[in-house]
Amino acid sequence: MNGERRFVVTMLVPTFFLLVCFYLYPTLYNLSNSFTDLSLFSMRKGGDWIGIDNYVELVTSRDFRSVLFNTVVWLTIVGVSVRILLGLGLAFLLTSRTIRKYRLQTISRVLLLVPWATPPIVAILIWRWMLDPRVGVINEVLLWTGLVAKPVAFLATANLVWPALITIITWNTLPLVTLTFMASLQSLPEELVEAAEVDGASRLQVLRYVYIPHLKPAIIVMVLMSTFWTFNNFVYVWLTTGAGPGLYTNVMATEVYIKGFIDGRLGYSSAVGIVMAAIMTAFGILYLRVIAQRELKEVL
């Protein structure tokens, strides 16, 4: 037993070494910087210790409250909700009897995989071109159909930029959510649905009492995982809008970049990063508890 234990420990040492080098040390270094006034323009000099001043400024800043609202409400809650609801709808559609009747399963899944296979940077460039007010195809269609009288600057208009941004993120990430729900639906025994229909259950009742309980574990996992992927998103927001117009779409990930590498306030930027890490740690603990409870129920 001792030999087996030593073998396991020996195999785990490189993994723990990598975790310490690439996760623990940067986190502790970032935490240390968050208590200083370290500047990008005087890094050789180093930063002076200022205690919790960065955190006090962060908590009392109206701009940061706006950033937090954008991150939590627009980017995460709205973005994840749209993805989950559309994913459920597409999963039901692509596993429906009509799709099977006309043998459209293969072509529908291939089409579904196209957005997922598209790199985010490519997807963003395509969508920026489509939404462009001068040469964008979407504006061309809207003008041709008479729905608008002049081109619409989707990514530069305050009341349109967040819906446009969420559309881009959803298009590129929806296939994974849909495929997860499709896999869960295909594991549902057909006999349960047929028994409910024979007993006189309506379609709404079958959805509520058969499909939703069966999909519940997949929905919970996808909500939590989508929250992880979305909350600290930088690429989609920065490359699509640059946190604009102005700072209207500024989120926590772009705030870290702006404060650290544009304003040069590395100490304050580190404080924002630590707050992000703390929030994501809370989500991580919730995620692990949900997974652990699910596995425990399966064992029992």
Tell me the pLDDT band of 142, cut-offs 50, 70 and 90: very high
Q: Which of 3-17, 166-180, 212-226 has the lowest mean pLDDT?
A: 3-17
Q: How confident is the model at residue 220, as a pLDDT? A: 86
Q: How confident is the model at residue 283, as a pLDDT? A: 83
Q: How many CB atoms lie within 10 A of CB 150?
A: 9
C-alpha 46, offset from chain centre: 35
Q: Are the beta carbons of 232 and 280 closer than 8 angstroms?
A: yes
Q: How confident is the model at residue 294, as a pLDDT? A: 64
Q: How confident is the model at residue 297, as a pLDDT? A: 61
Closest alpha carbon to 55 in 289, 267, 299? 267
Q: Are the beta carbons of 181 and 215 closer than 8 angstroms?
A: yes
- Collapsing DSSP states into helix, strand and coil, what is residue 265? strand
User: Residue 298 pLDDT more than 80?
Assistant: no
What's the chain's average pLDDT? 87
Radius of gyration of the chain from its Cα atoms, rounded to whole angstroms: 24
Q: Which residue has the tokens 């919970």?
A: 220
- Collapsing DSSP states into helix, strand and coil, what is residue 34? coil
What would the two tokens of residue 50 be? 């200022």
Q: Which of 34-43, 51-60, 231-240, 282-291 has the lowest mean pLDDT?
A: 282-291
Task: Tell me the CB-side half-sphere exposure of residue 7, using CA atoms within 13 A.
Answer: 4
Q: Tell me the backbone φ, ψ of residue 44, rounded to 5 degrees.
A: -65, -35
Q: Which of 45-49, 148-152, 252-256, 259-263 has the lowest mean pLDDT?
A: 45-49
Q: Are the beta carbons of 250 and 258 closer than 8 angstroms?
A: yes
User: Residue 22 pLDDT more than 70?
Assistant: yes
Q: Are the beta carbons of 254 and 234 closer than 8 angstroms?
A: yes
What would the two tokens of residue 243 be? 């946190």
Closest alpha carbon to 182 in 268, 275, 89? 89
Q: How confident is the model at residue 55, as a pLDDT? A: 94
Closest alpha carbon to 259 in 248, 270, 249? 270
Tell me the pLDDT band of 104, cut-offs 50, 70 and 90: confident
User: Residue 2 pLDDT more than 70?
Assistant: no
Average pLDDT over residues 56-81: 92
Q: Crossing angle, helix 79-94 and helix 105-117, to 10 degrees?
A: 160
Tell me the pLDDT band of 170, cut-offs 50, 70 and 90: very high
Element holding 95 (H helix, E strand) = none
Average pLDDT over residues 128-146: 92
User: Residue 263 pLDDT more than 80?
Assistant: yes
Q: How confident is the model at residue 34, as a pLDDT? A: 92
Gap between the Cα atoms of 54 and 72, Å rounded: 21
Q: Which domains does the chain have, with CATH numbers?
A: 33-299 (1.10.3720.10)
What percent of the chain shows pLDDT beyond 70?
A: 96
CB crowding 14-43: b at 16 or more within 10 Å, else e: eeeeeeeeeeeeeeeebeebbbbbbbeeee
User: Residue 253 pLDDT more than 90?
Assistant: yes
Average pLDDT over residues 178-204: 84
Gap between the Cα atoms of 291 and 229, Å rounded: 17
Gap between the Cα atoms of 6 and 9, Å rounded: 5
Q: How confident is the model at residue 109, as a pLDDT? A: 82
Q: How confident is the model at residue 296, as a pLDDT? A: 52
User: Residue 135 pLDDT more than 90?
Assistant: no
Gap between the Cα atoms of 289 and 220, Å rounded: 12
Residue 36: DSSP 8-state = B
User: Residue 1 pLDDT more than 60?
Assistant: no
Cα–Cα–Cα angle for 15, 21, 26, rounded to 5 degrees? 135
